[in-house]
Structure 1
Amino acid sequence: MDVREVSAEDVELEYVPAAGVRERGSLGRLWSVRFESVRPERQFPAFRGQGNWCGWYWSATCGGHVGYESWLERDRLMLLDFDPLVTGMASQPFRLSWARADGKQVRHTPDFFVRRSDGTGLVVDVRPDERIEPDDAAKFAVTAAACRSVGWDFVRVGTPDAVLMANVRWLAGYRNPRVHRPEVAARLLEAFADGGGLLAGARRVGDQIAVLPVLFHLLWRRVLAVDLEAGLLSAGTRVRLAMPREGGQDAVASAAVASG
């Protein structure tokens, strides 16, 4: 298929809604479905001798579990969960199919569908650069064209920056709202009003064992901010108040955050 000629009517979409009855139709007819709330196309089994690592990630954004089929997908889920512009996401949300020029049917199931705060959709495929074969590249190209035809964005992402990912993994351990303590949070905002070292600011507020979890939770929520790519979080990391909507300013910010 010439990607320049892909239309939403050329691509069939199959998905399983929350009710559990599979539905199918053209992308042009079904694009408005809330795909961030559908069931995954595939299961995420775990068994002895398994070559990849499947599992379920608890998303603070969704308030529930989202499946993944590899550690890399899990990391990308964390980055999406960390993105303040993401309001919902689903894994293996639907299956796309289309006919090649030779008549052969091609199928492709994207890894994630993401809903952003402005209502727009983002389709994400996770694949390292070194693992993209010609057939994969062709599938990604058609998927991108199909997404454009209905106003969605598409991004194919690989391995994120190692330092960024290590820091986000650490902060993700404090993502659950139960970590939040409003009175401690208020004092932390005062302590870092003019910026300062992470541990020194925490000690000004109180016992660091009680204060640091709240500090890391505020960093996860982007209420406080640090440079997550400058180095691993440490006692001397400089913490400041975050700017409004830090982490992205436009409709494709989720794609930028996803790609590190």
Structure 2
Amino acid sequence: MALKRKPPENNVRRVMSMGSNLPGVTTNKNGHTVQFESFAERILLLLLERDKTVLDYRSQPEIFEFKGQDGKLRRYTPDFKVWKVDGTIEIHEVTRTERQAQLRISEREVGAREICQDRQWKYIVHTEQTLPQKTEGTNLLALLRYRLKAYAHISVIAAVLEHLRQNSEVHLPICVEYVAHQLDMAESVVFTTLCYLLWHGELCTDLQKLLIFDSTFVPGTTVWLPKEGSNNGE
């Protein structure tokens, strides 16, 4: 999905390619176009998309103005604005660890935190050390395509949940085979329904291990029911 010259609605600027970054756009859980300017930002969007406490989020939401150490006015556009279901608002910024020591970045963070504090918002900085690593990001991207309700086959969901209530932890390929046999149904339908449940946190798996290869679950991957009261299935 390519951007035209103008930014999406409610974005004050459009993201740009700077050679080594990976800009792009996606559609969030509420149908809004959201921009990302790097792979790290793309991974953060996956976390926001899965997070049940997140009501909505937008990219490049507004321009912050603050004074630097030299007294001159600075302008800065944060990466994302996030609305939570409890009514709180957060500003999320993605950067690299080595950049945080730069005066421009440290001034920006101080200024943004002061603005957010005055508004009773929360300012959160993410780096490559706090965001999911490569394998988890790969798994989340693979599961993303199955987030839609169309993949939630009701009879499969019921059979999977019942199977897991009787077996605390099972191998995903075996679960697919078992449920498909029980329902006399194509394994592909069971697979996509399991992916839907995993994306929405209705089932748990180890996202630090490669989960999917060539539209099938990797042998040895396991699945289990989330503990009562947990937010996500990871």
Change (3 A) 1:114 1:213: same
Of residues 55, 63, 69 in structure 1, which corresponds to 2:24? Answer: 55
Q: Which residue in the other structure is 1:115 paired with?
A: 83
Deviation track 1:45-77 (CA, whole Å, cap 9, x = no partner) reads: 67xx95533211122x22343111222211211
CA distance in 2, matches of 1:175, 1:94: 29
Q: Does residue 161 of structure 2 align to residue 189 of structure 1?
A: yes
- Residue 89 of structure 1, aligned match among 30, 54, 57: 57
1:140 corresponds in structure 2 to 109
8 Å CA contact 1:41, 1:94 repeated in 2: yes
Contact 1:89 1:115 in 2 (8 A): yes
Once the two structures are superposed, what CA deviation does each residue of 1:128-155 show, in whole Å capped at 9, x if it has no partner?
1123322111211221232123221111
The percent identity for this pair of structures is 28
TM-score (normalizing by structure 1):
0.73
Tell which deviates more after alignment, 182-191 or 90-99: 182-191
CA contact (8 A) 1:38 1:90 kept: no
Per-residue deviation, 1:96? 0.6
Q: Map 1:69-88; keep pairs closer than 5 Å.
A: 69-88=37-56
Instruction: Give the structure 2 partner of residue 99 of structure 1.
Output: 67
Q: Is the 8 A contact 2:67 2:111 kept in 1?
A: no
Q: How many matched pairs?
A: 209
In 1: Cα distance, 2:33 partner to 2:53 partner? 19
Q: Tell me the equivalent position of 1:228.
A: 207
Cα offsets for 1:174-233 (capped at 9, x unmatched):
12222222222221211222331111112111132121111011000111111323x222
Question: Does the 8 Å CA contact 2:69/2:107 hold for their aligned counterparts?
Answer: no
Residues 232 and 127 from structure 1, CA distance in 2 versus in 1: closer, same or farther, beyond 3 angstroms?
Answer: same
Once the 2 structures are TM-superposed, how far is the Cα of residue 245 of structure 1 from its aligned partner?
Answer: 5.1
The alignment status of 1:171 with 2:143, answered yes or no, reads: yes
Match in the other structure for 2:13: 42
The letter for the 2-side match of 1:196 is V
Matches within 5 A, 1:219-258: 219-229=198-208, 231-233=209-211, 234-244=218-228, 246-247=230-231
**TM-score normalised by length of structure 2:** 0.80
Q: 1:187 to 1:63 in 2, by over 3 A?
A: farther
Give the Cα–Cα distance (whole angstroms) in 2 for the partners of residues 235 and 148 of structure 1. Answer: 48
Secondary structure of the 1:224 match is coil
Contact map agreement 1:113 1:123 (CA 8 A) in 2: yes
Letter aligned with residue 82 of structure 1: R
Unmatched 5+ residue regions in structure 1? Answer: 1-36, 249-256
Alpha-carbon distance in structure 1 between the residues aligned to 2:52 and 2:221 = 22
Contact 1:56–1:66 (Cα < 8 Å) also in 2: yes
Higher relative contact order (CA 8 A, sep 6+): 1
Per the alignment, residue 216 of structure 1 pairs with: 195
Contact 1:54-1:69 at 8 Å conserved across structures: yes
Give 2:198's aligned amino acid: L
Aligned counterparts of 2:113 and 2:122: Cα–Cα separation in 1 = 7
